[in-house]
Amino acid sequence: MLEMDHVALQTRDVAASVRFYVENFDAEVLYEDATWAFLRMGQGKLALVSPEQHPPHVALRVSEATLAQAAARAGKQIDKHRDGTIGIYLDDSQGNVIELICYPPGETAYEKKSRD
Amino acid sequence: MLEMDHVALQTRDVAASVRFYVENFDAEVLYEDATWAFLRMGQGKLALVSPEQHPPHVALRVSEATLAQAAARAGKQIDKHRDGTIGIYLDDSQGNVIELICYPPGETAYEKKSRD
């Protein structure tokens, strides 16, 4: 089953953007460092990314099997991210980037955090 | 309560993009015309918009009261859209556009459709 996981927006100042979304839209910080943050906003999630590191994108959550199939079909290598998620970026042919993202069970920062 | 309502991506060919998201990601078409489409993807929604008409944006769903307050604070006029929703665009100061959108009860294309 395909689910929308998050939207990623670019910012040159992650800390200032985190403050903006927390103060204006009640965002909850799930992860934050100098070049990347991950926020919960209502039932959705927002990533704030550095323009040098990631394109703006919409991420769809998939299983490891679906990700592996899609990567093979697209001829792409699966990237591992600092939070333990894995994924690939796809182009929608109109300049928009779609990420297929997978949260391998027991491997991500969010699960480890919740077990503390 | 703030909820993420949809993400809007720009496209120069709405029909082709609708096909792309339906074929690749099992999107369901909620609304489509020549310059705008609205798709359900998993638990999320994706808008496909013409670059001349709308910026790419993330839309948060709010009540009429919250929208009216935010519009007054921002000094913005509330726009009415072709599907009956109303909203304003806000700038996050990093080049990203956030829409506050409201679905007035009984006024939108989606509710009317579901009553047919």
| d(CA B109, nearest CA chain A) in Å | 23
Which residues in A lie closer than 8 A to residue B20 (C-beta atoms)? 92-93
What pLDDT shows up at residue B110?
85
What pLDDT shows up at residue B1?
58
Which residues in B lie closer than 8 A to residue A3 (C-beta atoms)? 42-44
pTM: 0.90
pLDDT single digits (tens) A42-75: 889 999 999 999 999 999 999 999 999 999 999 9
A92/B20 Cβ within 8 A: yes
Tokens linked to A87: 């994924």
- Over chain A, what HEC string results? CCEEEEEEEECCCHHHHHHHHHHHHCCEEEEEECCEEEEEECCEEEEEECCCCCCCEEEEECCHHHHHHHHHHHCCCCEECCCCCEEEEEECCCCCEEEEEECCCCCCHHHHHHHC
Tell me if A99 sits within 8 A of A58, measured CB to CB: yes
Q: How many residues does chain A have?
A: 116
